[in-house]
Amino acid sequence: MNVMTRLLLILGAAALLLVLPAVPTPAGAQQAPVTDIRVTQVDTSNYPHITVYVSVTDASGQPIVGLQQRQFALTEDGTPVQLLDFSGGGGQVSTALVLDRSGSMAEDKLEGAQEAARTFVEQMRSGDQTALIAFDESPQLLQPLTGDQASLERSINRIAADGGTALYDSIVDGVDALKDASGRRVLLLLTDGQDCRDIDCGSFAGSQASLRQAIDYANRYEQPIYVVGLGARSTDRDTREQGIDEARLQRLSVETYGDYFYAPDAAELADLYAGLAGVVQEEYVLTYESPRPFYDGTHRDIRIQIAEVGSSNASYLEHHLINVQSQPLVGLTLLVPLVLLLFAPMLAHRFVRPASSRLPTTSTRISPIVSPPDPEERAPATGKTLLQSATTLEEYQGRYCAMCGNPLRPSARYCGTCGAVQPNPTQPGGDA
Domain segments of the chain: what residues?
Answer: 93-281, 369-432
pTM (predicted TM-score):
0.67
What's the distance, CA 336 to chain centroid? 26
Read off the pLDDT of each residue in 12-41 and give the average, rounded to a whole number. 54
Average pLDDT, the chain: 80
Read off the pLDDT of each residue in 139-145 and give the average, rounded to a whole number. 98
Query: Half-sphere exposure of 75 toward its Cβ, with a 13 Å CA cutoff?
Result: 10
What one-character-per-residue DSSP string does 227-259 give?
Answer: EEEES-BTT-SS--S--B-HHHHHHHHHHTT-E
**Which pLDDT score, from 0 to 100, does residue 52 have?**
96
Q: Please report, as a single letter, which amino acid is at residue 199.
A: I
**Which pLDDT score, from 0 to 100, does residue 15 have?**
46
Contact 303, 74 (CB under 8 A): yes
Distant-in-sequence, close-in-space partners of 260: CB < 8 Å, separation ≥ 6 = 226, 227, 228, 229, 246, 249, 250, 252, 253, 254
Sheet holding 35-46, edge to edge: 35-46, 49-58, 284-289, 83-87
**Which pLDDT score, from 0 to 100, does residue 319 have?**
74
- Please report which confidence band the pLDDT of residue 241 belongs to, taking 50, 70 and 90 as the band edges: low
Q: Mapping DSSP to helix (H, G, I), strand (E, B) and coil, where does residue 349 land? A: helix
Residue 145 predicted with pLDDT over 60: yes
Read off the pLDDT of each residue in 55-84 and give the average, rounded to a whole number. 95
**Which pLDDT score, from 0 to 100, does residue 75 have?**
97
**Which pLDDT score, from 0 to 100, does residue 389 have?**
53
Residue 367 predicted with pLDDT over 70: no
**Which pLDDT score, from 0 to 100, does residue 203 have?**
84
Out of 3.40.50.410, 1.10.10.60, 3.40.50.300, 3.40.50.970, select the CATH number for domain 93-281.
Answer: 3.40.50.410
**Which pLDDT score, from 0 to 100, does residue 321 have?**
58
